[in-house]
Structure 1
Amino acid sequence: MNELKAYLKGIATYLPDKKLTNEDLANEYPDWDVAKIYDKTGISVRSIASKDETAGDLAFRAAEKLFEKCICKRDEVEFLILCTQSPDYFLPTTACVLQNRLNLPTSCGALDINLGCSGFIYGLSLAKGLIETGTAKNVLLITSETYSKYLHQSDRSVRTIFGDGAAASFISSKICDEDLIGPFVLGTDGSGAEELIVRQGGHRIPSPSSGTTENVSENAPSPGHLYMGGPEIFNFTLRVVPAAVKELLQKTDNTLDTIDYFVFHQANKFMLDRLRKKIGIPENKFCFNCSDYGNTVSATIPMALDLEIEKRTIKTGDTVMIVGFGVGLSWGATLIKINS
């Protein structure tokens, strides 16, 4: 039966100009050479926001590129969702600031969602709900992060992985007889919240009077820096992601063979290789492409989609499974039908 359905019309991405290479990192960590860093992460270069460049700035530039590509017009945007864990301010909502900067209609709804590596999946679920309940015909979903501002210079476990970047995705509507986005498998395990966290900065543990996350110690991370329990996050991922993939396949009467391509959150190559092998996904149907920009958290999946569509690895008519997982701890999976 023909009904109003949400679909992904287009994506534009933006990466900061500043780069952090494996050569740069090897100079800082003499016991890790360039080859070792790449072998552990699969990442050669990370895009890094400048000191005065915020997630709002990256989001603005990604959205401007979307308009320049003629994927949509400003006056078509009826709702703006910004997914970020590094907002410009505690308040007002950064999405509200972006509505004005982007010259979107004042009739446009706008909100932030604070979610990380699964944020694009959750944002798509919200956009689909807004569209298919008739609240909005067109939703601009932006994922933007500047995690580098949370990283301590001596913490190589995170500095070798994370980069900064943004992606702007336009979710529109059409009359159709099949779902073009969805269904969704979503999950949360807040008992693991301490495994990927910036403890200081909210009202539970307020920042020092300076209000910054600058180094309290030059030699060790402070509560204002990102802490990642790598082994625990790895084990969590190996536990929940294969189960989520299996549940989504069952929910949609699919198999691994009937899915054309798989785009997972681009965490690092070691983790993605283990997931691919454990699930049994063929290598030629599985994406890894963050080597030249790093793990950009909520922006990795739309960035990867944009690049694979541009390369024509993903083509019109393909069914793509996307899966996000990480900070929260949270995870999500869904299907996208490439329709344009």
Structure 2
Amino acid sequence: MPAIIDAIEYALPARTESIEDLAARFPDWPLDQVIEKTGIRTRRIAADEECASDLGLTAAQLLLENSDTAVDDIDFLIFCTQTPDYLAPTTACLVQQRLGLGTHTGALDINLGCSGYIYSLGVAKALIESGQARRLLLITADTYSKFIDPDDRGVRALFGDAAAATLLSYHDDDDGGGDAPTIGPFIYGTDGSGGPELIVPSSGMRYPRPAAATQEYIDHRGNKRSAHKIVMNGRAVVEFTLREVPRAVWQVCDKGGITLDDVDAVVPHQASAIVLKGVRERLGLPDARFISCMEDIGNTVSCSIPIALKRAVLSGQIKPGALLLLVGFGVGLSWGATLVRLPLDFAPLATNEARHDEHLASEPV
């Protein structure tokens, strides 16, 4: 019985940071050029005490409420993040308790960023189709703002914080039609030689954070850096994306026995305007079939694909029953792509973006 996507919801933190806010901090910035390259005018930023699990909890609560799903129906939880509450314990275990899922629920973290949604879907599909889970909750949540030095102009205009929750289950419809909802096939790719191009050097055990790691320096572009903040080689990441992502799109089409003309829409990781424009042009796709929506939330890392998909359904750009091609790419360096046929009854449940802080009623560990 194939796995399908039943519903998606997302949550955003209350605090905003606009491009005008950054222009006030960096008065020598060529503001128009920054907007043109990033495509981002406003980003959502987590509060100082707000973690990925808090945002993920809110997204999951919205999903369960709006889809009329009981917590007892969930038998597996995947939490995909690169900004966990702790290195130990696993954030998924903490969210299982805070969300009120039963102790029969399996729970695990996936540490992957901009390609994380694709990889997590692959794991979810395998768990469901092998009979290990019947209804699975996938949460993606990242607070990359906590990795960013306030004076790093290279990345501060890009990354926003968010969470998304996706409900997956087995599909027991035996109609066998070509329009039946499905997930897959998948293609994956990894080039670990590019790991240093997007990295937080002092974030684990290889280079623990001694006092020296907090020493700040100014790079050749005038950005403030330190080993415990994120460092990105923007040029190298763009070159990697334009080389590998179009290839991944064509490969997954070949694996699925279709052409790109058969796909109703491509939903890519929302990296930046200049990156998405380059990918879209190499694929030869019109704007209407290439989903882009980052202007008011920024690059939300592992959450960008489900948020873009959800917003496109709400706006009518994606219809229930559509055949979609999802492609993620970034930190690792890592990439992945898959095909998703949405159910015909995939309902555009209204995400309540104003609900930011109800998770505070459930105290974090």
TM range (shorter): over 0.9
**Aligned partners of 1:284, 1:322: CA distance in 2, in Å?**
15
**Aligned partners of 2:20, 2:57: CA distance in 1, in Å?**
31
Q: CA deviation at 1:33?
A: 4.5
Question: Could you report, residue by residue, the CA deviation over 1:101-139 in whole angstroms, capped at 9, with x for unpaired residues?
Answer: 000010000000000000000000000000000000011
Aligned to 2:135: 138
2:206 counterpart (204, 207, 216): 204
Aligned to 1:127: 124
Aligned AA (2:305): I
Aligned to 1:118: 115
* Runs of at least 4 residues off by over 2 Å: 33-37, 176-179, 215-220
Q: CA deviation at 1:80?
A: 0.2
Change in CA separation of 1:126 and 1:12 when aligned onto 2, cut-off 3 Å: same
Match of 1:158, SS state, is helix
Aligned to 1:316: 320
Matched ranges for 1:165-204 at <5 A: 165-176=162-173, 177=176, 180-204=182-206
Question: Could you report, residue by residue, the CA deviation over 1:263-304 in whole angstroms, capped at 9, with x for unpaired residues?
Answer: 000001110001000111122101110110000100000000
2:149 counterpart (149, 152, 163): 152
**Aligned partners of 1:230, 1:34: CA distance in 2, in Å?**
18
Q: Aligned residues, how many?
A: 334
Aligned to 2:13: 16
Q: Are 1:286 and 2:283 matched, yes or no?
A: no
1:235 counterpart (216, 235, 239): 239
- Over the matched positions of the two proteins, sequence identity in percent amounts to 46
**Aligned partners of 1:218, 1:170: CA distance in 2, in Å?**
44
Aligned AA (2:118): I
**Aligned partners of 2:112, 2:327: CA distance in 1, in Å?**
14
Moved more, 143-152 or 33-42: 33-42
Q: Are 1:297 and 2:297 matched, yes or no?
A: no
Aligned AA (1:189): D
**Aligned partners of 2:23, 2:226: CA distance in 1, in Å?**
23
**Aligned partners of 2:341, 2:132: CA distance in 1, in Å?**
22
**Aligned partners of 2:241, 2:37: CA distance in 1, in Å?**
17
Q: Over the residues paired in the alignment, what is the CA RMSD in angstroms? A: 1.5
TM-score computed with the length of structure 2 as normaliser? 0.89
Q: CA deviation at 1:240?
A: 0.7
Which ranges of structure 1 fall in alignment gaps of 5 or more residues? none
Aligned to 1:46: 43
**Aligned partners of 2:185, 2:158: CA distance in 1, in Å?**
31
Which ranges of structure 2 fall in alignment gaps of 5 or more residues? 219-223, 347-365
Q: CA deviation at 1:313?
A: 1.0
**Aligned partners of 2:52, 2:258: CA distance in 1, in Å?**
37
Question: Could you report, residue by residue, the CA deviation over 1:3-56 in whole angstroms, capped at 9, with x for unpaired residues?
Answer: x11000001100000011010011111122542321120001000001000011
Aligned to 1:338: 342
Equivalent residues of 2:201, 2:228 under 8 A apart: yes
